[in-house]
Amino acid sequence: MQQLRRAGCAKIYAGSRSGHVIEGSGITPFHFDLESESSLREAAEMMRLDPPQLVFVATGALTLDDGSEPEKSLSSIDPQAMMKSFAINAIGPALIAKYCALIFPREGRVVFAALSARVASMDDNRIGGWHSYRASKAALNMLLRNVGIEMNRRNDQAFAIGVHPGTVDTRLSEPFQKNLPQGQLQTAAQSAAHIISVLNQCDAEDNGHLFAWDGQRIPY
């Protein structure tokens, strides 16, 4: 939130599973359930009278709540865990886009962005594994391309992109931090600043593409 305020955002809708109140003028917190379509529809309706020009979907799951971890081999694939990964990493963001598209302004710069991952790039995949996470984020990348195409038909300054945040010091990355080269781990504040920089630099010419935290385009 602090990084967005510093970037000049006068009004911020801050959605989360908890819906906890966030202190600060211009911030409107709300609850949503990523796996409930009605919850996402209601959240969009709440914003209809004063719609956002930027929606950033900062959701995702590598290790699931039931303890399921990224698969190291095909023998580890579990259908239920894979469906859960797709629900969180691809279907949820797609439903957010579905309802935000109904309220987005028809003119002026409008951005729909979501956290993706470098490991979802087929071109960049050299070691395999992490089947559910890779596949669900790759599905997200295709959805973002589709979202961007449809948004741009309604507004030629509207676009959608995916952003790879790098490795951030969070609970999600904690089990995998020990093998990182020194200096590669970012704090949440550093990552947020980098992401906002990428969002500010992109325009409709970048529609449907995936970008790393440093602004470099990642091939799908």
**Does 155 have pLDDT greater than 90?**
yes
Among 7-11, 41-45, 101-105, 115-119, whose mean pLDDT is lowest? 7-11
pLDDT-derived band at 26, boundaries 50, 70, 90: confident
Give the model's pLDDT for residue 145: 98
Q: What is the pLDDT of residues 179-209, one digit of tens each?
A: 666 667 878 888 899 999 999 999 999 999 9
Tell me phi and psi for residue 170, to 5 degrees.
-135, 175
Q: Which pairs from 42-45 meet CB under 8 Å and 24+ separation?
A: 43/15, 43/99, 44/96, 44/99, 44/100, 44/102, 44/103, 45/99, 45/103
Average pLDDT of the chain? 90
Give the model's pLDDT for residue 1: 62
pTM score: 0.90
Give the model's pLDDT for residue 187: 87
| Domains defined for the chain, CATH in brackets | 46-218 (3.40.50.720)
**Does 67 have pLDDT greater than 70?**
yes
**CB-based contact 117:218 (threshold 8 Å):** no
